[in-house]
Amino acid sequence: MATTITTIHSIEARPGVFATDLAPRYFYTPDPPQLPMNVGLSRGTTDANISLPSQPSPLTNVVPDSFRANAGLLIRSGLSRETIARIFRLSDKPDGWREPGSKRLDASSLRAFLTFWTTIARQAREPFLSLAPNGNLIAHWHASWRRHLDLEFDRSNVIYFGLFDNRDVLQGKAVLANLVQTLTARRNNPFMWKRA
Amino acid sequence: MTFGGKVRLARHVDPDERDGNYVSYTAFSLSPEDLKAKQPYLSVNSTQMEPIVQIIEIYRNRQQGKGDVAVSIKKVYDYVKEGRSAGAQITSRRGEHQWIFPDMDGNAPAFLHRPNQSNNSHCGVEFLRSLEELQQRDFARSMARHPGMQVSPATVRRTARRR
């Protein structure tokens, strides 16, 4: 099976403008689990999805760390409500979620995915997201059993990729810019693949 | 315990690792804790030692009874084939139904029965530790492309028969 290793260059980390503890207060949080009954969801609401609490809300305590750390990027990502809910669900999985030793979602892996998404969003369908036992986020585009792309966003800003396009198989690791350029230049853009 | 090519091995697929019939390759990945171990292996259950119904119950407990239980059932031969494709040097000992691979201390069994208190059919796919990081991902992707998945519903639906 062919394995392609693309040259790795460092890419600049882009901290989110709102990537602070304040962000969750201004951000819609999908279905927070087990919220205490006596806690109001919003105070001084000005919009259906925006709440402006006057005091720190206990709600922030139930937002997973990786989700809270990337709130600013999530706001600007343009991802659908379903995908954000999916990210919340994956962020909420504790250490040991699969087997002893499997790790929770790493905040820098989520950041790497969101950075990637902002560069590709206009020419891509939203992927199916899953979590790796090492805490990395993985994006999948399935067209069929024979046509499939997956990208694993490592905390070190390396992306592990696997592309199956009928007989054409590419697997390896690369950095964001190289990978996007290579894959979008293909005759059929795998980022647009969706299940039939 | 033998591992003939037709022996079936079951691997639990977490609900968040599948999208309909598609399975994320992480379902066949080693966890960081596994990799730290002296002899890392991929946990599977042999259907030769325990009926699949009982294995599903073990997985259902792992999921704390929540949701459908998905199991990937593949033959030993499938593991060997994809392992070889990824770069593992697996050879068979004729007549012994045993597969071996070159390990740190000479040849080692590629599959090993590793029973524990709650899981008598627990086995390890051992040859994964002979693969490099990228090769392990290649192997996992190949396995996930044809997962041979069986889903056991969370609740058994009873349909009323009309007379």
Task: Return the domain boundaries, chain A.
Answer: 23-192
Kindly report the backbone phi and psi dihedral angles of residue B133, in degrees, each rounded to the nearest multiple of 5, phi listed first.
-55, -50
- Kindly tell me the burial class for residue B14, based on how many C-beta atoms sit within 10 Å of its own C-beta (0-12, 13-18, 19 or more): buried
d(CA B51, CA B121): 9
Q: What integer pLDDT is reported at residue A159 of this predicted model?
A: 95
Strands laid side by side in the B91-93 sheet? B91-93, B98-103, B106-109
d(CA B154, CA B150): 13
Mean pLDDT (whole number) for B28-38: 81
Mean pLDDT (whole number) for B12-34: 87
HEC states along chain A? CCCCCCCCCCCCCCCCCCCCCCHHHHCCCCCCCCCCCCCCCCCCCCECCECCCCCCCHHHHHCCHHHHHCHHHHHHHCCCHHHHHHHHHHHCCCCCCCCCCCCCCCHHHHHHHHHHHHHHHHHCCCCEEEECCCCCEEEEEECCCCEEEEEEECCCCEEEEEEEECCEEEEEEEEHHHHHHHHHCCCCCHHHCCCC
The residue type at B3? F
Q: What integer pLDDT is reported at residue B130 of this predicted model?
A: 94
Pair of tokens at residue B113: 């029965």
Would you call B93 an interface residue with chain A, using a CB distance cutoff of 8 Å?
Answer: no
Share of chain A above pLDDT 70, in %: 68
Q: Tell me the per-residue pLDDT of B58-84, one tens digit each, with 9 for 90 and over.
A: 888 888 877 889 999 999 999 999 999
Q: Tell me the per-residue pLDDT of B38-59, one tens digit each, with 9 for 90 and over.
A: 788 999 999 999 999 999 998 8
| Average pLDDT, rounded, for chain A | 75
Inter-helix orientation angle A176-184/A107-120, to 10°: 40
Q: Tell me the per-residue pLDDT of A104-113, one tens digit each, with 9 for 90 and over.
A: 999 999 999 9
Give the residue with greater pLDDT, B119 vs B88: B88
Give the residue with greater pLDDT, B17 vs A55: B17
Mutation target to probe the A interface, by most A beta carbons within 10 A, among B16, B59, B135 is B16
Give the residue with greater pLDDT, B162 vs A81: A81
Q: What integer pLDDT is reported at residue B100 of this predicted model?
A: 93
Q: What integer pLDDT is reported at residue B88 of this predicted model?
A: 95
Q: What integer pLDDT is reported at residue A196 of this predicted model?
A: 66
| A42-51, A80-89, B25-34: which is most confident | A80-89
pLDDT level of residue B11 (50, 70, 90 thresholds)? very high
Q: Tell me the per-residue pLDDT of A55-87, one tens digit each, with 9 for 90 and over.
A: 545 555 688 889 999 988 998 889 999 999 999
Share of chain B above pLDDT 90, in %: 52
d(CA B40, CA B20): 30
Which of A23-37, A138-152, A176-190 is predicted with the least confidence, judged by mean pLDDT? Answer: A23-37
CA distance B19 to chain A (A): 7
The residue type at A143? A
Mean pLDDT (whole number) for A155-164: 92
CB B134 within 8 A of CB A171: yes
Helix (H) / strand (E) element for B84: namely helix B76-86
Which of B136, B72, B16 is closest to A131 using CA atoms? B16
Q: What integer pLDDT is reported at residue A32 of this predicted model?
A: 46
Q: What integer pLDDT is reported at residue A107 of this predicted model?
A: 95
Pick A138's closest partner by Cβ from B26, B30, B43. B26
Q: Looking at chain A, which residue has its C-alpha nearest residue B82?
A: A1
pLDDT level of residue A158 (50, 70, 90 thresholds)? very high
Which of B35, B138, B47 is closest to A171 using CA atoms? B138
CA distance B160 to chain A (A): 33
Reduced to 3 states (helix: H, G, I; strand: E, B; else coil), residue B85 is helix
CA distance A106 to chain B (A): 13
Q: Looking at chain B, which residue has its C-alpha nearest residue A136?
A: B26
d(CA A31, CA A16): 23
Give the residue with greater pLDDT, B1 vs A38: B1
Reduced to 3 states (helix: H, G, I; strand: E, B; else coil), residue B110 is coil
Q: Tell me the per-residue pLDDT of A98-154, one tens digit each, with 9 for 90 and over.
A: 888 889 999 999 999 999 999 899 889 999 999 999 999 999 999 888 899 999 999
Would you call B105 an interface residue with chain A, using a CB distance cutoff of 8 Å?
Answer: no
Q: Which residues of B touch A98 (CB under 8 A)?
A: 14, 31
Angle formed at CA B24 by CA B23 and CA B30, multiple of 5 degrees: 120
Q: What integer pLDDT is reported at residue A30 of this predicted model?
A: 52
Rg (CA), chain B: 17
CA distance A56 to chain B (A): 32
Q: Is the dihedral of CA B41, B42, B46, B51 positive or negative?
A: positive
Give the residue with greater pLDDT, B87 vs B20: B87
d(CA B113, CA B123): 4
Helix (H) / strand (E) element for B92: namely strand B91-93
pTM given for the model:
0.78
| Average pLDDT, rounded, for chain B | 86
Are B138 and A142 in contact (CB < 8 Å)?
no
